[in-house]
Chain A
Amino acid sequence: MVDDERPSGPTRGRGSWTGLHRSGSTRAARQSRADRVAALWQNSELDGVPVGDDTDGLPEAVPANDDASLVSNPDVDAGLVTDPDAGDDISEAIAPTGDAGLTDDSPGSEPDEIPTPSKPRIRARTPAAERVTPSSPVAPPARAAVDDDHAWLDDEAGPVVRPYTLTGGRSRPVTSGLGLLTHVESLFAPDADLVQLQPEHRSILSLTRTALSVAELSARLDLPVGVVRILVGDLLQANLVSTFEADAALRAPDDDILQAVIDGLRAL
């Protein structure tokens, strides 16, 4: 994978960070845009973001595009903001585009007007790609607007950078095979030299006194899954935890289990 070819060490994490920050931008430039677009951004009026603005440091060759390209700004932003709420906020902005492009289905339309089956589904991916591609030149302004709203100074600031300082810049676990539902259980190891461990390692050890899935560890520790995999990998290597597959992928649940699930759900 990509990261194996990349330099290891803390730069790995910082690389991601600066990338997200659009390293081409100067602080001053971003600041000046902030003044102009902050209000627009907060009102979610993405179409109002001044696209001709080139203070983001992009090459001059990148032209301001027409408004057709603006519609996909939300798409591009959605991933960079890394904020589920933000994703929800812009969903309204995306939906009409998708509808128009995919089905020509107006909000009030009857199902009869829903286009013939299968065709639109096949077409579904194509308009999406077309929708996004022309936006490339205009994506940076809105992205910078997010920066300027100090999105990186709130809760989202830590998660991007800090996890890879926890792992010493590593982005791959020393072991493989840790799925989301792989269960981790700490082993009794009285002689272990716990002093060497990071606090997060110790947190994992204490959380996994009863077996816990990687996904749940990640959610409880509020660390990205990839980081938890690396930390668990360290503990595996040190023989401080064991793992086992609870994932039904390895043993398809039989009818008894399915019936138990049905009964259990009904009894909730």
Chain B
Amino acid sequence: MDYGPSDHQVAVPQRRFPVALKVLVAGGFGVGKTTLVSSCSEIMPLRTEEHITDASAGIDDLTGVEAKTMTTVVMDFGRIRITEDVVLYLFGTPGQDRFWFLWDELAVGALGAVVMADTRRLADCFPSVDYFERRGTPFLVAVNCFHGEQRHSVEKVRAALDLDPGVPVVLCDARDKESSKHVLVTLVQHVRSSRRLPLEA
């Protein structure tokens, strides 16, 4: 692919530069996104400030606060160094619907996404599922079993979410490192296999 000259110089790689892989962790409020990110990586809060744009007009009431055009959003940011050259970044997406306009930057180039679901509030993850389906970002649904409670079977969750057959649904305990690792491994495997399919077809 050819790139036109940009307005700042981009160093031509002379040596091996790290590959940064981006995984998004999405889902509703309090579903365990932070817990998942922190259980398998070092975690730092990442602050971004965004302009209130058309994307949020009608959601944010700007009456009387016309001066306010910026909003600060905090998201979770985790990093897992896989090898010297490969680093996996985890971004916990902002939970509020109203910050969706942030997602586009997050989602560009994302390897894949984990949509966390709580079966008590399953509807909270609908928007995330819709979003990644629309974007064509590979994702899986991780059902966070709070306190080891498994209220519903994977099949029931899959049916309730109307997921494509290929989308993995896994049960997890976000507090548990092994369980969170399993979620990420399943995601990467899913990414790999979903790439192969179009080639075979």
The answer, yes or no, to whether A55 is at the interface (CB within 8 Å) is no
| Partner pick for B21 among A1, A105, A237, A253, CB 8 A cutoff | A253
The answer, yes or no, to whether A50 is at the interface (CB within 8 Å) is no
Docked complex: B91-142 residues within 8 A CB-CB of A: 91, 95-99, 105-106, 108-109, 111, 119-124, 126-127, 129-130
Compute how far the CA of A242 lies from the CA of B73 in the bound complex, rounded to whole angstroms. Answer: 28
Residue of A83, A118, A135, A246 with highest tally of chain B CB at under 10 A: A246
How far, in Å, is A29 (CB) from chain B's closest CB? 13
Using Cβ atoms and an 8 Å threshold, which residues of chain B touch A159? 47, 72
Compute how far the CA of A251 lies from the CA of B20 in the bound complex, rounded to whole angstroms. Answer: 10
B95 touches A91 (CB 8 A): yes
| Partner pick for A226 among B49, B74, B123, B160, CB 8 A cutoff | B49
Contacts known (A58-B64, A117-B162); A132 close to B59, Cβ less than 8 A: yes
Docked complex: B19-54 residues within 8 A CB-CB of A: 19-22, 28-30, 34, 40, 44-51, 53
Using Cβ atoms and an 8 Å threshold, which residues of chain A touch B181? 265-266, 268
B69 touches A261 (CB 8 A): no
How far, in Å, is B192 (CB) from chain A's closest CB? 5
| Partner pick for B127 among A80, A125, A237, CB 8 A cutoff | A125
Residue of chain B at shortest CB distance from A3? B51
| Partner pick for A111 among B130, B156, B191, CB 8 A cutoff | B156
The answer, yes or no, to whether A99 is at the interface (CB within 8 Å) is yes
B69 touches A2 (CB 8 A): yes
B109 touches A76 (CB 8 A): no
| Partner pick for A265 among B10, B79, B96, B184, CB 8 A cutoff | B184
Query: Interface with B: A38-46, A200-208, A214-222, which one?
Result: A214-222
| Partner pick for B123 among A1, A83, A102, A262, CB 8 A cutoff | A102
The answer, yes or no, to whether A28 is at the interface (CB within 8 Å) is no
| Partner pick for B17 among A114, A180, A244, CB 8 A cutoff | A244
Compute how far the CA of A218 lies from the CA of B130 in the bound complex, rounded to whole angstroms. Answer: 30
Contacts known (A15-B67, A226-B49); A120 close to B22, Cβ less than 8 A: no
Using Cβ atoms and an 8 Å threshold, which residues of chain A touch B97? 125, 128
A114 touches B160 (CB 8 A): yes
How far, in Å, is B195 (CB) from chain A's closest CB? 8
Residue of B28, B58, B123 with highest tally of chain A CB at under 10 A: B123
The 9 closest A-B pairs by CB, nearest first: A249-B109, A19-B68, A117-B162, A91-B29, A264-B82, A19-B67, A219-B44, A175-B8, A242-B11
- A58-B64, A225-B47, A265-B185 given. 20 additional CB < 8 A pairs? A62-B63, A79-B73, A95-B29, A111-B156, A111-B159, A121-B130, A136-B61, A136-B63, A139-B61, A163-B49, A183-B17, A244-B17, A246-B20, A248-B109, A255-B195, A261-B21, A261-B88, A262-B185, A265-B40, A265-B188
Chain B residues with CB under 8 Å of chain A are 6-11, 13, 17-22, 28-30, 34, 40, 44-51, 53, 58-61, 63-74, 77, 79-80, 82-83, 86-89, 91, 95-99, 105-106, 108-109, 111, 119-124, 126-127, 129-130, 152-153, 156-157, 159-162, 177, 181, 184-185, 188-189, 191-192, 195
List 20 A-B pairs, Cβ < 8 Å: A15-B68, A83-B74, A88-B29, A95-B28, A99-B121, A105-B123, A117-B159, A124-B130, A177-B8, A183-B17, A216-B77, A219-B46, A224-B47, A236-B9, A243-B8, A243-B11, A244-B11, A264-B83, A264-B88, A265-B88
